[in-house]
C-alpha cells in the first residue's frame, strides 16, 4: 500500500443514479480499508446527510482525490486543485472520457493498484487568462483545456488582433479563436481543425474558428509564450471569453485578453497500463472497418 495516502477526497458529477450508485460503492469500499474519506460539497447533490467539506479543504487535506463523473467534472476539479498539487484520479461516468480513464467496472481493482503504488504519474499545465479594459483587470481565471474567444449569440464574425510575446502576429475576422493546452487539443481545438498535441509537450495551440481568410491556420507555440488577443475597436458583434466552456464573460471593443501558462500544474494519476494512443484509437474510432 502507498503509505503516504491516508486521506482520500471524493468529488462527484451530479445526482444521476449511476453516479450515486458508484459513489456509494466506492465510499463504502474505502471505509472498509480504514481510509479517512473527505466528501466534496458536490456530494450534497446526492441528497446525503454526510458531512461535507469545501473544495479548498479537500485539496489541502487529501493525498488523493477521486473524481466520479465525466471530463467536465475533472476539468472543474483540476482548476480548483492545482494550487494544492493534489493528485487526481478520474472514474468515467461521462460520455467521451479523454481525462477520466478508469471505467466503473474496473474501479475498485484500479484503486487497489493505485493505493499499492502501482500507477502512472503525470503533470499537465493550465492556462491563465485575464481580461483588461484599459488598465483595469475585469476578470481572471484558469483553464485546463482551452481559452476561447467567441461570438455570444449571433452568426457574426469577430474582428480581433493577436500578439505573441508582444510581437504582432495578425489581424483577422473569424467566429473566434481557441487557445488550447495539449490536454485541450482533443476538445474544441480538434473540432476547429487543430492538431492533436501529445499531453507531455510544452506547447499551446492557437486555432481560429471558421476564419474569413482560409489561409489563417492553427499555430503551435511554446508553453511559456504570452498571448494577447485584442478586440478591435471597429468590432460590431458581442464576443465572449470562456474558460473550459464552463465560465463566460462578455467582451467589448478595445478589451485585451492576456493569456499565459498558469504557475501551477495539474497532477494526474493514471492506471499503470494507461496508454494515451489506445485512448485516441477508442475515442476517435481510428481503424474502424467501414
Burial 249-262 (b: 16+ CB within 10 A, else e): bebeeebbbbbbbb
- Beta-bridged to residue 208, according to DSSP, are 177
* Domains present along the chain, CATH in parentheses: 7-118+272-283 (3.40.50.10330), 126-262 (2.60.200.30)
Per-residue pLDDT tens listing for the chain (290 residues): 466 899 999 999 877 788 889 999 999 999 999 999 999 998 987 766 788 999 999 999 999 999 999 999 999 999 999 999 999 999 998 777 899 989 999 999 999 999 999 999 999 999 999 999 999 999 999 999 999 999 987 778 999 999 999 999 999 999 999 999 999 999 999 999 999 999 999 999 999 999 998 889 999 999 999 999 999 998 888 899 999 999 999 999 999 999 999 999 999 999 999 999 999 998 888 876 65
Q: What is the pLDDT of residue 156?
A: 83
Q: What is the pLDDT of residue 45?
A: 79
286 — phi, psi (to 5°)? -70, 150
Q: What is the pLDDT of residue 214?
A: 83
* Burial (CB count <10 Å: 0-12, 13-18, 19+), residue 168: exposed
Give catalytic status of residue 71 as yes or no: yes
Helix (H, G, I), strand (E, B) or coil at 225: coil
- At residue 97's C-alpha, the angle toward residues 225 and 284, to 5°, is 85
Catalytic residue among 2, 21, 34, 71: 71
Contact between 31 and 10 under an 8 Å Cβ cutoff? The reply is: no
CB atoms within 10 A of CB 42: 24
Q: Which residue in 122, 121, 107, 143 sits closest to 259, CA to CA?
A: 143
**Spatial distance between the Cα atoms of 281 and 288, rounded to a whole number of angstroms:** 9
Residues 6+ apart with CB under 8 A from 204: 127, 179, 180, 181, 182, 220, 221, 222, 223, 225, 227, 261
Q: Which residue in 192, 190, 166 sits closest to 177, CA to CA?
A: 192
State the pTM of this model: 0.92
**Spatial distance between the Cα atoms of 290 and 280, rounded to a whole number of angstroms:** 18
Residues 6+ apart with CB under 8 A from 274: 101, 120
Amino acid at each position: 500500500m502507498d503509505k503516504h495516502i491516508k486521506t482520500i477526497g471524493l468529488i462527484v458529477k451530479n445526482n444521476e443514479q449511476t453516479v450515486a450508485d458508484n459513489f456509494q460503492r466506492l465510499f463504502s469500499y474505502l471505509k472498509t480499508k480504514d481510509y479517512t474519506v473527505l466528501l466534496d460539497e458536490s456530494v450534497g447533490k446526492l441528497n446525503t446527510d454526510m458531512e461535507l467539506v469545501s473544495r479548498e479543504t479537500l485539496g489541502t487535506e487529501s493525498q488523493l482525490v477521486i473524481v466520479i463523473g465525466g471530463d467536465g467534472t475533472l476539468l472543474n476539479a483540476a482548476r480548483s486543485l492545482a494550487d494544492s498539487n493534489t493528485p487526481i484520479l478520474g472514474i468515467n461516468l461521462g460520455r467521451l472520457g479523454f481525462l477520466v480513464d478508469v471505467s466503473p467496472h474496473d474501479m475498485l481493482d484500479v484503486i487497489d493498484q493505485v493505493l499499492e503504488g502501482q500507477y502512472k504519474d503525470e503533470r499537465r499545465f493550465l492556462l491563465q487568462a485575464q481580461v483588461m479594459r484599459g488598465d483595469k483587470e475585469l476578470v481572471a481565471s484558469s483553464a485546463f483545456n482551452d481559452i476561447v474567444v467567441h461570438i455570444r449569440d449571433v452568426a457574426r464574425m469577430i474582428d480581433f488582433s493577436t500578439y505573441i510575446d508582444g510581437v504582432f502576429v495578425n489581424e483577422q475576422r473569424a467566429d473566434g479563436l481557441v487557445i488550447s493546452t495539449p490536454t485541450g487539443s482533443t476538445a474544441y481545438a480538434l473540432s476547429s481543425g487543430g492538431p492533436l498535441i501529445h499531453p507531455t509537450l510544452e506547447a499551446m495551440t492557437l486555432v481560429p474558428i471558421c476564419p474569413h481568410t482560409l489561409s489563417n491556420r492553427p499555430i503551435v507555440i511554446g508553453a511559456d509564450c504570452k498571448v494577447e488577443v485584442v478586440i478591435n475597436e471597429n468590432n460590431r458583434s458581442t464576443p465572449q471569453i470562456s474558460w473550459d466552456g464552463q465560465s463566460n464573460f462578455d467582451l467589448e471593443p478595445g478589451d485585451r485578453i492576456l493569456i499565459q501558462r498558469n504557475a501551477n500544474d495539474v497532477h494526474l494519476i493514471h492506471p499503470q497500463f494507461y496508454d494515451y494512443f489506445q485512448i485516441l484509437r477508442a475515442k476517435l474510432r481510428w481503424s474502424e472497418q467501414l
